[in-house]
Amino acid sequence: MQRREILVAALAAPLLGMGSAAAPPVKLLGNTARYRLELDIGPLEHMYSPAEAARSKPMQGEIMVAGRMSGMTAGKMAMPAGMGNGTAMRPSVWHHLELHVWDKISGAVVKDAHVSIRVIDLASGRAQTVPIAAMYGIHSGPADWHYGNNVRLPPGHWRVDAVVNGEAASFTVTIPPG
């Protein structure tokens, strides 16, 4: 197992809306024994089931191949279980977190990985488990295949612990205020 910790100050760009085509504000590379990883944290994305996408033909957002979107339902904000109201769902504290996985030997995108991701607030030590969906961007297509979800990530220092087919990697991310 290799650990990789990288500090990045990013996410300075304001949240302009879901499905922004802009490059993700956070892009970190990682490694495990068998896999090359990329962690992207960007603006909240709308995540469509294949049936929803076929019906509404969205121009942006992501197609969920497996799993479910957290944090929003049917294009509207919804409160995830266990969260109070108030500022919890301010869009600026919600981000789209995604992990891309490539096989180091073949270079191929790994589409059937078993992935788990935990996000740890380094100030409080509190951890949250990211519900994993497999998905790809509508614009980019299946080459963009990745694992993750929309997550609440307020400004602060975070560690993202990922396990891919039993192989662990960690990333350290700073989300600046604003």
Q: Which residues bind Cu ion (CB under 5 A)?
A: 62, 98, 135
Beta carbon of residue 158, minimum distance to Cu ion (angstroms, whole number): 18
β-bridge mates for residue 164, sequence order: 115, 167
Beta carbon of residue 96, minimum distance to Cu ion (angstroms, whole number): 6
Nearer to Cu ion, 33 or 77 (CB): 77
Rounded CA separation 149/133 (Å): 6
Residue 8, both tokens: 């990045």
Beta carbon of residue 62, minimum distance to Cu ion (angstroms, whole number): 4
Nearer to Cu ion, 1 or 142 (CB): 142
Residue showing the smallest CB distance to Cu ion in the complex: 98
Beta carbon of residue 137, minimum distance to Cu ion (angstroms, whole number): 7
Please say whether the beta carbons of 147 and 117 come within 8 A: yes
Nearer to Cu ion, 96 or 158 (CB): 96
Beta carbon of residue 101, minimum distance to Cu ion (angstroms, whole number): 13
Nearer to Cu ion, 60 or 128 (CB): 60
What torsion do the CA atoms of 39, 41, 46, 52 make, to the nearest 10 degrees?
0
Query: Which residues have a Cβ under 8 Å from the Cβ of 111 and sit 6 or more positions away?
Result: 134, 142, 145
Alpha helices in 32-140 (DSSP H): 50-56
Nearer to Cu ion, 39 or 62 (CB): 62
CA proximity to 162, closest of 132, 126, 123, 122? 132
